[in-house]
């Protein structure tokens, strides 16, 4: 009898189709949840999955937030989809796309006769405009948005480290996107320490913690490093929450959006 039951169970497991998690179908409802739970209007906002690099520079006029299908490929549940979507919102909160347009506009209007101060200002803007820095800023906004919307922010670490690392990452046994993932981990530890206690049940997260633990232990052994670390993330918390508050107050418009609007407006 036991053999018959096992045979029937095996037959059911083979014949019943398995339904893979459809990340793309979850983008719109999760995106709306992230906005509304953070006091940001989701009225007429649409989330679209695109195959190329997301370009959200026209969000103010289109009310469309593009999300990368390549990033969603690493999302296996709602928490991880929320991490991908929240990061795109984070870029909007900081106005990274509009910042790029402002710099392009400034560069196009500069001439060889521009004074040294103007040229130096433009050069300084260009030097500070770095993708890694922007990604880190957007990631920290994403953590806050996820927590307020009821998602586990550790999922962002999982999505980052699921991705393909460099050859050097493989050689030294470092997770993919280790620098960005550690930035997220340290921010969560400083601002939302209770979330670390909850944890995240997957190998990618466990592997990351194994990588991060000796780094944090080494830092914690030095009062000087701890003081510097706390100062860094205290400032990051203040800046991040301020940016989110300003974005809400302006009705979904970042400071760089406002600057670009002024610079690109027809001169009277």
Q: What 3-state DSSP class applies to 165?
A: coil
What is each CA distance from 132 to 96, 112, 124, 181, 266, in whole angstroms? 12, 31, 17, 12, 34
* Domain total of the chain: 1
Does the residue 259 lie in any domain?
Answer: no
DSSP state of 52: S
Output phi, psi for 150, to 5 deg.
90, 15
Does the residue 48 lie in any domain?
Answer: yes
pLDDT at 16: 39
> Nearest-CA neighbor of 207 among 175, 183, 182?
175
Does the residue 7 lie in any domain?
Answer: no
Q: Which domain holds residue 151?
A: 21-252
Does the residue 57 lie in any domain?
Answer: yes
The strand pairing partners of 50, in sequence order, are 68
Strands (E), the chain: 46-50, 64-68
> Nearest-CA neighbor of 193 among 149, 153, 236?
153
Does the residue 213 lie in any domain?
Answer: yes
Q: Directed axis angle between helix 96-109 and helix 255-264, to 10°?
A: 30
pLDDT at 107: 67
Q: Which residues, given as ranges, of the chain have pLDDT below 70?
A: 1-19, 102-103, 105-130, 256-268
What is the reported pTM?
A: 0.81
The strand pairing partners of 48, in sequence order, are 66
> Nearest-CA neighbor of 70 among 109, 24, 18, 130?
24
> Nearest-CA neighbor of 109 among 120, 100, 118?
118
Give the pair of three-digit tokens for residue 256.
């760089």
pLDDT at 11: 42
Does the residue 50 lie in any domain?
Answer: yes
Neighbours of 209 (CB within 10 A): 17
Does the residue 264 lie in any domain?
Answer: no
pLDDT at 224: 97
Residue with tokens 């000796």: 214
Does the residue 5 lie in any domain?
Answer: no
pLDDT at 254: 76
pLDDT at 138: 96
């Amino acid at each position: 009898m036991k053999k018959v039951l096992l045979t029937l169970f095996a037959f059911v497991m083979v014949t019943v189709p398995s339904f893979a998690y459809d990340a793309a179908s979850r983008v719109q409802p999760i995106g709306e949840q992230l906005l509304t739970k953070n006091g940001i209007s989701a009225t007429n906002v649409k989330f679209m999955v695109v195959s190329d690099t997301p370009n959200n520079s026209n969000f103010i006029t289109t009310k469309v937030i593009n999300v990368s299908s390549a990033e969603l490929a690493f999302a296996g549940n709602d928490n991880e989809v929320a991490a991908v979507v929240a990061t795109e919102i984070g870029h909007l909160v900081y106005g990274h796309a509009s910042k790029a347009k402002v710099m392009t506009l400034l560069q196009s209007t500069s001439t060889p006769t521009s004074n040294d101060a103007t040229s130096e200002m433009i050069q300084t803007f260009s030097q500070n405009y770095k993708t890694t820095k922007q990604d880190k800023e957007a990631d920290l906004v994403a953590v806050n948005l996820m927590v307020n919307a009821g998602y586990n922010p550790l999922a962002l670490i999982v999505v980052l480290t699921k991705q393909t690392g460099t050859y050097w990452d493989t050689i030294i046994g470092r997770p993919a996107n280790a620098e960005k993932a550690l930035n997220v981990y340290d921010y969560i530890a400083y601002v939302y320490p209770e979330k670390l206690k909850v944890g995240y049940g997957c190998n990618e997260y466990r592997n990351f913690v194994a990588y991060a633990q000796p780094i944090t232990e080494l830092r914690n052994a030095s009062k000087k490093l701890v003081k510097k670390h706390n100062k860094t993330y205290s400032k990051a918390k203040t800046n991040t929450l301020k940016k989110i508050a300003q974005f809400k107050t302006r009705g979904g418009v970042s400071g760089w959006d406002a600057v670009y609007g002024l610079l690109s407006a027809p001169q009277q």
